[in-house]
Amino acid sequence: MSVEVITTISPTTNEPIITRNGLSDAEIQELPQVSAKAFESWRKTKLTDRQIIVKKALKILGDKKDELANEITVQMGRPIKYTGVEVTTAIKRGDYLVKVSEDVLKDTEGEAEKGFKRFIRKTPIGPVLILFPWNYPYLTLVNSLIPALLSGNTVILKPSPQTPTIAEQVAKAFTEAGLPSGVLQYFHCGSPTMIESIVRNPSIAHICFTGSVPGGLAVQKAASDRLVNVGLELGGKDPAYVRGDVDLAWAADEIVDGSIFNSGQSCCAIERVYVDEKIYDDFIKAAQKVLEGYKVGDPLDSETQIGPVVSKQSKETIAAHVKDALEKGAKDETPDNATFKELPPKGNFVKPTLLTGVDHSMRVMTEETFGPVISVMKVKSDEEAIKLMNDSEFGLTASIWTKDTEKGYELADQVEAGTVFVNRADFPSPDLAWTGLKNSGKGVTLSRFGFDQFVQLKSFHLKDYPK
């Protein structure tokens, strides 16, 4: 059987830029065997030694920030102005997970009783398969990789075909940091059949998937014929509610950024905006003013704020959502911006689009758009806003924007989302659990609870020998 050839297409030019070879089915099945063998010794390594290796690897990645940033920009199209920040943020996130690991992974003592000792130990589970996406490759990878290794597990990485070098760079850094052979492996793959094959391998003890709902369901289905846990970080249709008491210029600036940063290609981007009817018209004007200052263009230009979306298919999906909204009565109130009108002729460039008069009959308010579209709907009350925010199959993040932070907290408590923000958005904090409700996924990454999926509890019940 011929080996699969995986080609990365530049979102900026739509031309091939990278090719990688996949593996044969036999080679795919060998990865878990190697991982299981390495697990026998890695699990016995002291936590302090694991921490040293992880910290060294993170430093190596940090020292290569500019190189890594350039690779992200070239491969997935985010402007070079921002990609270095992803690398430094991923390292800070990793440092936090190292910092809390000793306390998180320590034994939990049972009730004191003379003549007995009882405690619960968190033990590693074995080889972990991590399937991670292209949109924030370092950030999403760190979420699972660092706690998995610190907990004593071995890891196999499968990067997105769009950003193949990320797995290579990470594996190289950990090898240089002294990680034993076989503890961290990676493979390139674009074939769903091959992915299903390794998911079904009995040596894989846990699977982490970050990506679309259909992709997550496919992985879960492939794993359904055996007892293995699957952690899923999936999509979102994240809402924002702007109350009537906000400073409009500030709120508009924050919400535009939360909607179209990374060309809107974030699972926690703001995709639905509900605005108090009393300030609705003024908010639209404020958002238009903010958009006037944005520059769309070549992502390698340091002045560019919005680059291309990742693929032709993504561009077509965004266009279909906008078309559906306009046909159903929405208005395109995007301001007159020269860079929006004169998009680069090649690549998958999409103008940031401000839609008004939207409602929940439109795809742009119900399906994940994953593009630079700001859809704004008028509401009459807090109650209506909360009802509409919860009217979704997704539940990843949501935000409330108000000067009355106590009221914001009260409203946030009513929202069905894994993370609720007040006066902030699109910011996974490493000390908070990252989790989704409804079709936004299952399981937890980040925070102290992000280690739980990588350990199993083992109880020790010891009694003194009778004298």
Q: Which domains does the chain have, with CATH numbers?
A: 5-234+440-462 (3.40.605.10), 238-422 (3.40.309.10)
At residue 13, φ and ψ (nearest 5 deg) are -125, -15
271: annotated active-site residue: no
Helix (H) or strand (E) holding 63: helix 47-63
Token match 């119900």: residue? 366
Of 330, 350, 365, nearest in space to 265 by CA = 350
List the structure tokens of 293.
Answer: 């200052």
Residue 368: other Cβ atoms inside 10 A: 24
Query: Where in 137-254 does DSSP place strands (E)?
Result: 155-158, 184-186, 206-210, 229-233, 238-242
> Tokens 């992880």 identify what position?
54
Give the contacts of 40 (CB within 8 A, at least 6 positions apart).
none
pLDDT digits 0-9 by tens, 347-396? 999 999 999 999 999 999 999 999 999 999 999 999 999 999 999 999 99
For 165-198, b/e burial (b = at least 16 CB within 10 A) is bbbebbbebbeebebeebbbbbbbbbeeebbebb
Separation of alpha carbons 322 and 438, rounded Å? 25
Tokens of 295: 């520059």
Question: Which residue out of 71, 86, 233, 367 is catalytically annotated?
Answer: 233
Sequence-separated (6 or more) residues with CB below 8 Å from residue 205: 125, 126, 127, 128, 153, 228
pLDDT, position 2: 74
Residue 1: predicted pLDDT: 56
Is the Cβ–Cβ distance between 61 and 87 less than 8 Å?
yes
Are 440 and 418 in contact by the 8 Å Cβ rule? The answer is yes
Distance CA 365, CA 374 (A): 10
Radius of gyration of the chain measured on its C-alpha atoms: 24
CA 398-402-407 angle, to 5 degrees, is 85
The residues with which 113 forms a beta bridge, in sequence order, are: 116
> How far does CA 65 lie from the centroid of its chain?
20
Distance, CA of 167 to CA of 156 (rounded, Å): 10
Of residues 83, 403, 26, 14, the one with CA closest to residue 247? 403
> Which residues in the chain land under pLDDT 70?
1
Look at residue 467 in the predicted model and tell me its pLDDT. 83
Secondary structure (DSSP) of 46-57 = -HHHHHHHHHHH
Structure-token pair, residue 107: 């034994």
How far is 373 from 265, CA to CA, in rounded Å? 10
How much is the pLDDT for 5? Answer: 97
Q: In 3-state terms, what secondary structure has residue 336?
A: coil
